[in-house]
Chains A and B, each alone.
Chain A
Amino acid sequence: MNRTTLKLSALAIGLGFSALSFSAFASAGYYNEFGQKAGITSIIDDFVGNVAADNRINAYFAHANIPFLKTSLVNQVCEALGGPCKYTGPAMAPLHHSMGVTQADFNALTEDLQLSMTKYNVPIPAQNHLIGILAPMSKDIITK
Chain B
Amino acid sequence: MGNLQNFGATPKVNRAKNCIALAITTALLATTGMAHADNLLGNGRFIATGGIQSLDGAAGGGINPWAVIAGYGTNDQIDPTASFTNVTLPDFSVNQLGVSIGIFNRVELSYAYQTGTLGSNVFGADGKVTLPLDGVKIGQSVFGAKVRLYGDAIYNSDNFIPQVSLGVEYKKADTSSNALVPALNSLGAGVKDHGTDVYLAATKVFIGGFFGYNWLINGNLRYTKANETGLLGFGGINHDSYHVKPEFSTAILLRPDVAIGYEYKGMSNNLSDAGLQQSSWNDVFVAYFPNKNVSIAAAFAKLGNVGPYKNQNGIYLNTTVSF
Contact = CB atoms under 8 A, between A and B. Distances in A.
A16 B214 CA distance: 11
Contact of A129 (B75, B154, B208, B215): B208
A23 B211 contact: yes
Contacts, number: 99
A16 B209 contact: yes
B250 interface: yes
B46 A19 contact: no
Contacts of A20: 206, 209
Interface in A121-140: 123-126, 128-129, 131-132, 135-136, 138-139
Contact of A104 (B76, B158, B214, B266): B76
A103 B208 contact: no
Contact of B211 (A5, A12, A22, A131): A22
A12 B251 CA distance: 10
Nearest to B76: A102
Contacts of B244: none
Nearest to B214: A128
Interface in B147-174: 154-158
A124 B280 contact: no
Interface string A94-131: 00000000111101101100100000000111101101
Nearest to B248: A9
A91 interface: no
Contacts of A1: 246, 248, 264, 266, 280
B74 interface: yes
A138 to B, nearest CB: 5
A64 interface: no
B45 A129 contact: no
A62 interface: no
A111 B289 CA distance: 14
Contact of B255 (A102, A110, A124): A124
Contact of A19 (B42, B74, B210): B210
Main SS of chain B's interface residues? loop
A129 B44 contact: no
A129 B74 CA distance: 23
Interface string A1-20: 11001001100100110011
Contacts of B206: 16, 20
Interface range, B side: 35 or more
Contact of B74 (A104, A111, A131): A104
A40 B148 CA distance: 37
Nearest to B304: A2
Interface string B245-280: 010101000111000001010100000000000011
Given A5-B280, A139-B155, A15 B210 contact: yes
B74 A103 contact: yes
Nearest to B74: A103
B75 A126 contact: no
B7 interface: no
Interface string A27-46: 00000000000000000000
B309 to A, nearest CB: 19
A92 interface: no
B33 interface: no
Nearest to A129: B208
Contacts of B248: 1, 5, 9
Contacts of B77: 104
Contact of A107 (B45, B157, B250, B279): B45
Contact of B156 (A23, A104, A125, A136): A136
A8 B250 CA distance: 11
The 10 tightest CB contacts between A and B, nearest first, are A125-B212, A104-B44, A132-B207, A128-B208, A103-B74, A136-B158, A135-B157, A19-B210, A104-B74, A19-B211
Interface of B: 42, 44-46, 74-77, 105, 154-158, 206-215, 217, 246, 248, 250, 254-256, 262, 264, 266, 279-280, 282
